[in-house]
A and B are shown apart, each in its own frame.
Chain A
Amino acid sequence: MDQSFAIQDTLEKGDTCLVAVQGILVSPYTNESRLVGLVKNRETLAIFLYKHRRMAICADDVSLDEIIPLAEGVIIQQVMPAEGFYVIGTDVTLRIKSLDIDIVMQLPFGSHTQEFLRRVNQPIQEGLPAFPSQQFVWLRKYWQRNIPSVNSLFLNNMNYEEERQLSGLDINLVSDLEADKMAMNGQWIKANERVDPSRSPQMSVRHNKTTFTDLVRSADVLSANKAEMVPFTKFGLRDNLIKSELLKNEDTYISIQNYRFFVGTYNVNGQSPRESLQTWLSQDSEPPDLYCIGFQELDLSKEAFFFNDTPKEEEWFKAVSDGLHPEAKYAKIKLIRLVGIMLLLYVKKELAVHVSEVEAETVGTGIMGRMGNKGGVAIRFRFHNTHLCIVNSHLAAHVDEFERRNQDFREICSRMQFAQADPTLSPLTIHKHDVVLWLGDLNYRLKDIELEKVKKLIDSRDYKTLHKFDQLKQQIDGKAVFEGFTEGEIMFQPTYKYDPGTDEWDTSEKCRTPAWCDRVLWKGKHITQLEYRSHMALKTSDHKPVSSLFDIGVKVVNEELYKKTFEEIVRCLDKMENDCIPSAALSQREFHFKDVKYRQLQVQTFTIHNDGQVACQFEFIRKLDEESYSKPWLRANPSKGFLTPGSSMQIELEVFVNNQTAAALNAAEEKIEDILILHLDRGKDFFLSVTGNYLHSCFGSSIQMLCYMNGYMRDTSEETITQLAQMPLQMKDNFLGAEKPAKIPKELWMMVDHLYRNASQQEDLFQQPGLMSEFEAIRDCLDSGYPESLPGSNHSVVEALLLFLEALPEPVICYQSYQKCLESIGDYSSSKEVVSMLPLHHKNVFKYLISFLQEMLNNSEKNHLDIKILASIFGNLLLRPPPDLPKPSNSDKRRCQEFVQQFLQPEDP
């Protein structure tokens, strides 16, 4: 019976008891009965436990004992009783755990328990609100009023919560300790799920387990349509893989081919070009393939320094272009300038097509360490398959500043960064190139040697001796600068400092010591220096230009071999990608459920094994146009999950026919037949076939059909059942000709008659739950006619009777009369009128049941039944709102009971 009214009676306005169930609170000392109610306020729920009198009807019969808010951290888990034997399908044992409560409840087999579990599970699956929080403040009144010994933690937190609201501070109130506790709870569940050996596959309650086995909560619900599931890998990753594989296998498709590079450097001392540069640039008989030409001190004016704008750029560019080797045509690839430091890159016109990925950058190291009067400029590019970087630098001046020059070099190296075409890649630095050519006025001087001695060594062309005093050589030898770079042997006289227009050494006041300021160095493989020289003929500047001629071996791609390598890599990657598609094996794909019976769970288990190379996420998915992944009588448990490579998981397929699904199966409109789609995320889909046969049952069959059926349900042919199921509700008695229909279903008669004979004096009738195993025997007896009399205790027969009424596809008071019944309440004669208008067999059943109940009431001294109890039980069984109406409100429920109550009251004399 529905005891939620008693609970509702205790609640404040705005709070509703959704469902109540009477259960046993299990403790080591004693087992006590508790009324368990699920109470709702707005969006939050709490479980209320009441001590109660037998058959609680109103608030006076119950007293609130405990409140468990359904909040984050609460765990409700079905467990096996620790001891005592376990009868399949009897009680449901629940462990309810929250921050400070840990109790075990036994709930009886039956529809109230089912309803309770369903209602509790739904919010748990959807995610519970945090506790304490403002949402749960409504519970406070109950705690304070009803539970004097209430745990202080809750109340304290509640107060705190309010203070928090006042102060407007947003503090996370869940202490670390509590969080730890919750985490441990989580572990407890997982461990329990994995190892619980006592877990029976035949549990009658199916819902609560799934909450915790859904390890992959965030799994996307994917549509069955594969067309929308195309993007399955980041192709960028694949791109980079191909690139790195191509690089790794470069040797298979490239050959080294020499190209001639002319590298020149010239400090022009702010002068404009006044003489042809051919003596510098076109001295060799063969035209070089590439020109890398660097200038320093292009313009010493303030304008150039502050605005980086100078007419000299154009002048010198033109001079260089005019001075290039006349026997070849050249294309300018790039010009880059920072104040007076300029770098030009030319390539033979016909080779330009092999130049790509050109980038240029500048780094100033002058005044404030940033300005462009000193520093470097650089051009990086790809020539065929070789990456080159050309740097032109003008380092700090003055004899003693060699440390400063070293520092400038390091600055240029670290700050010179080239953007890459792919913005996700980090920028390239100078050293990340196959070939680096470094030229410029590096400004290193001759040290610790007197001017006279220098001039003497120069006159005797003993550059080798002189070179020992060169700061750059000393610094390189000391690994202080230009590490990894090479410089050719210097066979020319110092290029600094001359009186402009002459080949005379500096005669100015300062009278500088000559020095090899202007240099060319290189780094990389396959580089041969052919020439390293100065050009004395040019007299415009106080420096002489320097040039170096190189043969550089460049990686040239053989297109055919490249294509072959590329295709091989693509094939390999395709294979890898195919291997990385999630894969799994199922131990079984066809499932046959034999002799499925009403309310009898059947379970079959299969194993899913991840036999692929990657983790896989699986989920049963909906078929197109279907609401759920399976028919309502079928469930997979778990319905989704996550498997690491090599691991396995057991999946249970559960078939359970309940009141909602029985009618269609009984009427043979629906069969035990389904195909499930088990989808691997980013992978294949498996189809699982489920077949079986259903043993038709009177449970879930219509009154009409049962009255017209001659034999027992299981003896009746499918054909007859289909025929009977299609009968209209109101009809004449001579349907199907042959035999007269029974007045009421014989199955109903068998149960009622059994109770009438055996149970009228039974104590606690209608108040104790039946046993599942006995119910099954009763069901089988009603459906097969064997054994001749009903087995099981009176309580189990009562349970069967109630289930029978609950499962009727059309309730005793037909749906269409429901509203009229409610309206007729208070007017007994009009209520009788409504009943008299019912279809014949429904009317018979109603009258029959009422007279049975009246008979029971005649024995109320023994069986303790009263009108209120019976009306509350049968009111909501005989009257049910049509399925298209919303669930009945509590007042509607009460009115249903009042309706039945009218018929149970002794007639006025």
Chain B
Amino acid sequence: MAKKTYDLLFKLLLIGDSGVGKTCVLFRFSDDAFNTTFISTIGIDFKIKTVELQGKKIKLQIWDTAGQERFHTITTSYYRGAMGIMLVYDITNAKSFENISKWLRNIDEHANEDVERMLLGNKCDMEDKRVVPKAKGEQIAREHGIRFFETSAKANVNIEKAFLTLAEDILRKTPVKEPNSENVDISSGGGVTGWKSKCC
């Protein structure tokens, strides 16, 4: 029963245009809360969350980046070392969707080659203001061979699922040494083994 508190540490990164809701997505996942006031992230912030996947305790360290254009050259220097990148756009903001290819290029140029990518169309609770059809998001994701979710940090739609899926995809690629499962010490000091338990 003495289980280790975590088996793996995954570093994830949230990127995308300013105002698409990266911080809110993170806040929903880490604190299960939502804040309507918009405070632009001027810098780099992170939170941690421990999840369990396939019996393994995985610690997620999730970095939230500044989306504003003037910081792009600086924020790209944080890509290296990320094992998963969530690229977020706003389904009510066409420009944020158009910039997806630019963000994907950024990932190609600056992130680790084997980084696991995922596309999120956020604010899907605001159906009346939608300008990016879901199909377009699915299409660009398919073209680049990455997963896609429409999410809402506000209405808590698909947030946990997105993070867990990304973590699972990373886990699948991670070579894991099977940890020794806990066994009962059936020592055979006496040499009589006829009815020795075979529970290992």
Binding site for B on A (CB under 8 A): 224-228, 230, 235, 238-239, 242-243, 313-314, 317-318, 321, 329-336, 349, 352-353, 355-358, 382, 385, 421, 557, 567, 570, 573-575, 577-578, 581, 589, 623-624, 675, 677-678, 684-687, 689
Q: Are A570 and B50 in contact, CB atoms less than 8 angstroms apart?
A: yes
Q: Are A226 and B66 in contact, CB atoms less than 8 angstroms apart?
A: no
Q: Which of B30, B191, B199 contacts A353, CB < 8 Å?
A: B199
Q: Which of B5, B52, B186 contacts A235, CB < 8 Å?
A: B5
Interface readout for B39-70 with A: 1 if CB under 8 Å, 0 if not? 00011111111101000010001010010001
Question: Counting CB contacts under 8 A, is B36 at the interface?
Answer: no
> What separation, in Å, do the CA atoms of A689 and B70 have in the docked complex?
9
Ordered by A's residue number, 26 sampled pairs between the chains whose C-beta atoms are within 8 Å are A224-B74, A224-B78, A226-B44, A226-B46, A227-B82, A228-B81, A230-B9, A243-B2, A321-B192, A331-B195, A333-B187, A334-B187, A353-B184, A382-B1, A421-B2, A557-B1, A574-B50, A578-B30, A578-B47, A623-B77, A624-B77, A675-B70, A677-B43, A684-B44, A687-B42, A687-B43
Our count of residue pairs bridging A and B at CB distance below 8 angstroms stands at 129
Chain A min CB distance to B70 (Å): 7
Q: Are A225 and B80 in contact, CB atoms less than 8 angstroms apart?
A: yes
> 14 more A-B contacts (CB under 8 A) besides A224-B77, A226-B44?
A230-B9, A230-B81, A242-B5, A313-B190, A317-B192, A329-B195, A332-B188, A333-B186, A335-B187, A352-B199, A353-B184, A567-B52, A578-B47, A684-B45
- What A residues does B45 contact at CB under 8 A? 684-685
Nearest 4 CB-CB pairs, A to B? A227-B81, A331-B197, A624-B77, A352-B197
Q: Are B66 and A687 in contact, CB atoms less than 8 angstroms apart?
A: yes
Contact A225-B70, Cβ < 8 Å, known A574-B30, A581-B46 = no
Q: Which of A242, A356, A578 contacts B48, CB < 8 Å?
A: A578
Most buried by A among B2, B4, B61: B2
- What A residues does B77 contact at CB under 8 A? 224-225, 623-624
> What is the size, in residues, of chain B's interface with A at 8 Å between Cβ atoms?
47
Chain B, interface SS category: loop
Q: Which of A228, A355, A557, A675 contacts B71, CB < 8 Å?
A: A675
Q: Are B196 and A331 in contact, CB atoms less than 8 angstroms apart?
A: yes
> What separation, in Å, do the CA atoms of A607 and B4 have in the docked complex?
42
Chain A min CB distance to B44 (Å): 4
Contact A239-B5, Cβ < 8 Å, known A332-B186, A332-B196 = yes
Q: Are A577 and B74 in contact, CB atoms less than 8 angstroms apart?
A: no
Chain B 61-115 interface residues, beta-carbon cutoff 8 Å to A: 61, 63, 66, 70-71, 74, 77-82
Chain B min CB distance to A794 (Å): 48
- What A residues does B199 contact at CB under 8 A? 352-353
Q: Are A332 and B192 in contact, CB atoms less than 8 angstroms apart?
A: yes
Chain A min CB distance to B178 (Å): 18
Question: Counting CB contacts under 8 A, is B127 at the interface?
Answer: no
Question: Counting CB contacts under 8 A, is B11 at the interface?
Answer: yes
- What B residues does A687 contact at CB under 8 A? 42-43, 66, 71, 74
Contact A332-B48, Cβ < 8 Å, known A228-B81, A230-B9, A235-B5 = no
Binding site for A on B (CB under 8 A): 1-2, 4-6, 9, 11, 30-31, 42-50, 52, 57, 61, 63, 66, 70-71, 74, 77-82, 182-192, 195-197, 199
> What separation, in Å, do the CA atoms of A235 and B4 have in the docked complex?
10
Chain B min CB distance to A310 (Å): 13
> What separation, in Å, do the CA atoms of A213 and B163 have in the docked complex?
43
> What separation, in Å, do the CA atoms of A317 and B194 have in the docked complex?
13
- What A residues does B82 contact at CB under 8 A? 227
> What separation, in Å, do the CA atoms of A581 and B89 have in the docked complex?
28
Chain A min CB distance to B52 (Å): 8
- What A residues does B63 contact at CB under 8 A? 226
Q: Are A235 and B184 in contact, CB atoms less than 8 angstroms apart?
A: no
> What separation, in Å, do the CA atoms of A575 and B29 have in the docked complex?
12
Chain A min CB distance to B111 (Å): 10
Contact A332-B190, Cβ < 8 Å, known A225-B77, A574-B30, A574-B48 = yes
Chain B min CB distance to A175 (Å): 50
> What separation, in Å, do the CA atoms of A581 and B2 have in the docked complex?
27
Residue of A nearest to B83 (CB): A227
- What A residues does B4 contact at CB under 8 A? 239
Chain A min CB distance to B77 (Å): 4
Chain A min CB distance to B51 (Å): 9
Residue of A nearest to B4 (CB): A239
Residue of B nearest to A229 (CB): B81
> What separation, in Å, do the CA atoms of A47 and B4 have in the docked complex?
60
Residue of B nearest to A689 (CB): B70
Contact A333-B184, Cβ < 8 Å, known A238-B5, A577-B48 = yes
Most buried by B among A227, A333, A358, A689: A227
- What B residues does A313 contact at CB under 8 A? 190
Contact A226-B190, Cβ < 8 Å, known A557-B1, A687-B42, A687-B71 = no
Q: Are A684 and B43 in contact, CB atoms less than 8 angstroms apart?
A: yes
Contact A589-B42, Cβ < 8 Å, known A349-B197, A358-B185 = yes
Chain A min CB distance to B160 (Å): 13
Residue of A nearest to B195 (CB): A329
Chain B min CB distance to A503 (Å): 31
- What A residues does B6 contact at CB under 8 A? 235, 238
Chain A min CB distance to B55 (Å): 11
- What A residues does B47 contact at CB under 8 A? 578, 581
Chain A min CB distance to B72 (Å): 11
> What separation, in Å, do the CA atoms of A355 and B81 have in the docked complex?
42
- What A residues does B2 contact at CB under 8 A? 243, 357, 421
Q: Are A318 and B81 in contact, CB atoms less than 8 angstroms apart?
A: no
> What separation, in Å, do the CA atoms of A329 and B192 have in the docked complex?
14
- What B residues does A385 contact at CB under 8 A? 1
Q: Are A686 and B42 in contact, CB atoms less than 8 angstroms apart?
A: yes
> What separation, in Å, do the CA atoms of A235 and B189 have in the docked complex?
37
Q: Are B190 and A317 in contact, CB atoms less than 8 angstroms apart?
A: yes
- What A residues does B1 contact at CB under 8 A? 356, 382, 385, 557
Q: Which of B11, B186, B188, B196 contacts A230, CB < 8 Å?
A: B11
Chain B min CB distance to A828 (Å): 56
Chain B min CB distance to A151 (Å): 53
> What separation, in Å, do the CA atoms of A636 and B147 have in the docked complex?
44
Q: Are A349 and B184 in contact, CB atoms less than 8 angstroms apart?
A: no
Residue of A nearest to B77 (CB): A624
Most buried by A among B31, B57, B190, B199: B190
> What separation, in Å, do the CA atoms of A557 and B2 have in the docked complex?
13
Q: Are B43 and A685 in contact, CB atoms less than 8 angstroms apart?
A: yes
- What B residues does A574 contact at CB under 8 A? 30, 48-50
Residue of A nearest to B189 (CB): A335
> What separation, in Å, do the CA atoms of A623 and B76 have in the docked complex?
11
Contact A227-B43, Cβ < 8 Å, known A314-B191, A352-B199 = no
Chain A min CB distance to B29 (Å): 11
Residue of A nearest to B13 (CB): A226
Q: Are B192 and A318 in contact, CB atoms less than 8 angstroms apart?
A: yes
> What separation, in Å, do the CA atoms of A144 and B17 have in the docked complex?
72
Residue of B nearest to A336 (CB): B189
> What separation, in Å, do the CA atoms of A313 and B82 have in the docked complex?
60
Residue of A nearest to B40 (CB): A589
> What separation, in Å, do the CA atoms of A567 and B4 have in the docked complex?
13
Residue of B nearest to A575 (CB): B31
Residue of A nearest to B49 (CB): A574
Residue of B nearest to A347 (CB): B197
> What separation, in Å, do the CA atoms of A357 and B74 have in the docked complex?
51
Q: Are B43 and A333 in contact, CB atoms less than 8 angstroms apart?
A: no
Residue of A nearest to B188 (CB): A332
Q: Which of B78, B187, B195 contacts A225, CB < 8 Å?
A: B78
- What B residues does A421 contact at CB under 8 A? 2
Residue of A nearest to B80 (CB): A227
> What separation, in Å, do the CA atoms of A686 and B45 have in the docked complex?
8
Most buried by A among B1, B42, B70, B184: B184
Chain A min CB distance to B174 (Å): 15
- What B residues does A239 contact at CB under 8 A? 4-5
Residue of B nearest to A233 (CB): B48
Q: Are B44 and A334 in contact, CB atoms less than 8 angstroms apart?
A: no
